[in-house]
């Protein structure tokens, strides 16, 4: 990781002795290749009962009892962190990685000063005077700390994701196999074997910066304004705005003047884009609200989203569709690269869009809209009672009855609530992508407006992409199919994964850190679980 990780770590309020230990851990290890009677002890094998004795004395590693046995059983209870020359290179590499991670995340739960002391003792002794018991303690301590590190950084907390409305299967990780791979390769970065979503590292880099920024960022608040600041205005408040934009990386120069000039406009637009605000270059109260968010809250936001990324399966060079609910955007990835982006409208807070994954299989041109029972009961039936022409005026028809309620559907056409096409990925939540007759809504900065399904701004472009490898489909055929009097189903030759996710912090393809509002309160619920202790 970064060369200055150990320097950062010493700033943590952990203790003078630990700081000295971290500095010592970086020295080069010279090994004595001699083997004495004392150091040979059965060629570095130990009795399996020693694991139980160790875990009884180190209850912090007790949750990994199964992993301990699985790992050492596979290697016939042979030492992993030692060889006949002393403590192995793998231990040095892992200790550096561990200490750097603690510094970057400022996470004291991973901090283990005793591990550094055990390492230093082993380096100094080179197996000459250490007892078998001391060497075994060091061996098992490194294994236990590796499991704790890998679970925290690569697997994530034991939070029940479903309790937070997250129904994407969590990434599975075999800690024993991961340790075995790392030991064999002498890897300095176990991510080679525990692939993470690339976003994780990007957010971690910004987390390091924000932890440092928290020491100097202004604690006062910028006052709200009666009318937005625009180019040509001048005010002491403009100077305060410039200072914050500079600290946050949007204003590239340290300009503290009171003038709202063209450079200020550019910085404001950059900030507005990163926050998902209307990009107009003026500073109104919505932007001031975002500027006033304390850095410590941004840090919590980063940590919450990094936890979600630990749950995510690693990105692969495949085709898939990703919808990020708080961003109100859909992204299409082809061979791992973004090939299409478009605005979307998601569910209102009361009808929140579910976080899950599915496989897009069908395109339905000129669809009927089978009105959900809840809407029939709460909206359609009362409207019919007030106006007998309601169905005809809204191009609807009754097709039957169920449990005392009419079954209602809306006919195909430009007026249809699903628009001219829908895209189905069968799921238990009755959520899909579809067109809409109200395209003017896509220009709004906040777009949580639907009953739960996802409206997309450019449905024809989506259809063209999905059918791009089928020579029987062209722009004209797609247009005509979108204007039929009866719906037409098309089954894709190959399904495409759809991931509906919830990230309020991420780094975009330009390298800019983005934040969004927690529109469903999921961040708040997760923070309560992550930071309660």
Span 433-478, pLDDT tens digits: 999 999 999 999 899 888 889 999 999 999 999 999 999 999 999 9
Asked whether 407 and 414 are in contact (CB, 8 A), the reply is no
Per-residue pLDDT averaged across 213-233, rounded?
Answer: 94
The segment(s) of the chain belonging to CATH 2.40.440.10 are 316-368+412-502
In sequence order, the β-bridge partners of residue 434 are 422, 455
| Residue 19 pLDDT exceeds 70 | no
| Residue 309 pLDDT exceeds 90 | yes
**For residue 305, what are the contacts with CB-CB under 8 A and spacing of at least 6?**
203, 503, 504, 505, 506, 523
Residue range 220-293 in CATH 1.10.101.10: yes
In this structure, the number of other CB atoms found within 10 A of the CB of residue 492 comes to: 17
Asked whether 462 and 397 are in contact (CB, 8 A), the reply is no
**For residue 177, what are the contacts with CB-CB under 8 A and spacing of at least 6?**
193
| Residue 11 pLDDT exceeds 70 | no
| Residue 14 pLDDT exceeds 50 | no
| Residue 43 pLDDT exceeds 70 | no
Q: Dihedral sign, CA of 280, 282, 288, 291? A: positive
What is the pLDDT, as a whole number, of residue 49? 95
Q: How far apart are CA 434 and CA 360, in angstroms?
A: 12
Asked whether 315 and 431 are in contact (CB, 8 A), the reply is no
Burial of residue 496 (number of CB atoms within 10 Å: 0-12, 13-18, 19+): buried
- φ, ψ dihedrals at 174, nearest 5°: -90, 100
The segment(s) of the chain belonging to CATH 1.10.101.10 are 220-293
Per-residue pLDDT averaged across 352-378, rounded?
Answer: 94
Give the SS3 label for residue 352.
Answer: coil
In 3D space, the residue among 295, 254, 287, 256 whose CA is nearest the CA of residue 270 turns out to be 287
- When pLDDT is cut at 50, 70 and 90, the band that residue 12 belongs to is very low
Per-residue pLDDT averaged across 15-30, rounded?
Answer: 36
Asked whether 90 and 66 are in contact (CB, 8 A), the reply is no
What is the pLDDT, as a whole number, of residue 165? 84
Per-residue pLDDT averaged across 509-520, rounded?
Answer: 96
What is the pLDDT, as a whole number, of residue 533? 56
| Residue 128 pLDDT exceeds 90 | no
Structure tokens at 440: 């003017």
Q: Catalytic site residues?
A: 434, 453
Per-residue pLDDT averaged across 383-388, rounded?
Answer: 94
3-state secondary structure string across 250-318: CCCCCCCCCECCHHHHHHHHHHHHHHCCCCCCCECHHHHHHHCCCHHHHHHHHHHHHHHHHHCCCCCCC
pTM, two decimal places:
0.84
Give the SS3 label for residue 466.
Answer: helix
CATH of domain 316-368+412-502: 2.40.440.10
12 vs 74, higher pLDDT:
74
84 vs 176, higher pLDDT:
176
Per-residue pLDDT averaged across 469-496, rounded?
Answer: 96
Helix (H) or strand (E) holding 499: strand 488-501
**432-to-102, 157, 345 alpha-carbon distances in Å:** 42, 30, 12
Q: Dihedral sign, CA of 194, 199, 203, 206? A: positive
What is the pLDDT, as a whole number, of residue 15? 39
Residue-wise DSSP of 91-124 = HHHHHHHHHHHHHHHT-GGG--HHHHHHHHHHHH
Residue-wise DSSP of 440-456 = GGGGSS--EEESSSEEE
What is the pLDDT, as a whole number, of residue 145? 96
């Amino acid at each position: 990781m970064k060369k200055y990780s150990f320097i950062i770590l010493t700033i943590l309020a952990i203790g003078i002795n630990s700081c000295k230990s971290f500095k010592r851990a970086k020295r080069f290890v010279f090994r004595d290749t001699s083997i004495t009677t004392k150091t040979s002890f059965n060629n570095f094998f130990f009795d399996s009962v020693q694991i139980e004795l160790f875990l009884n004395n180190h209850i912090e590693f007790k949750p990994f009892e199964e992993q301990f046995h699985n790992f050492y059983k596979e290697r016939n209870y042979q030492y992993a962190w030692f060889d006949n020359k002393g403590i192995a290179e793998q231990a040095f590499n892992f200790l550096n990685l561990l200490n750097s991670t603690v510094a970057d995340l400022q996470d004291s739960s991973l901090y283990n000063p005793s591990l550094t002391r055990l390492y230093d003792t082993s380096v100094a002794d080179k197996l000459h005077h250490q007892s078998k018991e001391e060497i075994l303690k060091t061996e098992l301590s490194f294994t236990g700390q590796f499991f704790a590190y890998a679970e925290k950084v690569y697997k994530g907390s034991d939070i029940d994701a479903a309790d937070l409305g997250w129904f994407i299967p969590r990434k599975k990780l075999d800690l024993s196999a991961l340790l075995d791979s790392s030991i064999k390769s002498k890897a300095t970065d176990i991510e080679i074997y525990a692939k993470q979503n690339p976003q994780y590292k990007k957010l971690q880099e910004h987390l390091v910066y924000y932890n440092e920024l928290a020491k100097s960022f202004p604690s006062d608040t910028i006052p709200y304004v009666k009318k937005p600041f625009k180019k040509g205005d001048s005010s002491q408040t403009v100077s305060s705005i410039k200072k914050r934009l500079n600290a946050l990386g949007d204003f590239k120069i340290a300009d503290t003047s009171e003038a709202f000039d063209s450079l200020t406009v550019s910085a404001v637009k950059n900030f507005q884009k990163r926050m998902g605000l209307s990009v107009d270059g003026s500073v109104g109260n919505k932007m001031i609200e975002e500027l006033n968010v304390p850095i410590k809250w941004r840090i919590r936001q980063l940590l919450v989203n990094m936890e979600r990324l630990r749950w995510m399966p690693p990105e692969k060079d495949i085709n898939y569709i990703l919808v990020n609910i708080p961003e109100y955007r859909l992204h299409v990835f082809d061979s791992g690269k973004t090939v299409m982006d478009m605005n979307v409208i998601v569910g209102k807070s009361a009808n929140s869009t579910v976080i899950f994954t599915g496989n897009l299989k069908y395109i339905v041109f000129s669809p009927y809209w089978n009105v959900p029972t809840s809407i029939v009961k709460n909206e359609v039936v009362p409207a019919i009672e007030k106006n007998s022409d309601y169905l005809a005026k809204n191009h609807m028809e009754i097709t039957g009855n169920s449990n005392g309620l009419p079954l209602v559907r809306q006919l195909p056409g430009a007026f249809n609530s699903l628009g001219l096409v829908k895209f189905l990925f069968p799921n238990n939540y009755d959520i899909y992508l579809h067109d809409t007759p109200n395209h003017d809504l896509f220009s709004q900065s906040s777009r949580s407006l639907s009953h739960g399904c996802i409206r997309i701004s450019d449905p024809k472009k989506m259809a063209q992409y999905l059918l791009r490898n089928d020579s029987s489909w062209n722009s004209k055929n797609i247009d005509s199919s979108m204007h039929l009097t009866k719906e037409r189903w098309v089954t894709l030759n190959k399904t495409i994964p759809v991931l509906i996710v919830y990230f309020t912090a991420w780094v975009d393809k330009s390298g800019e850190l983005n934040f969004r509002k927690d529109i469903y309160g999921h961040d708040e619920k997760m923070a309560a679980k992550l930071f309660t202790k």
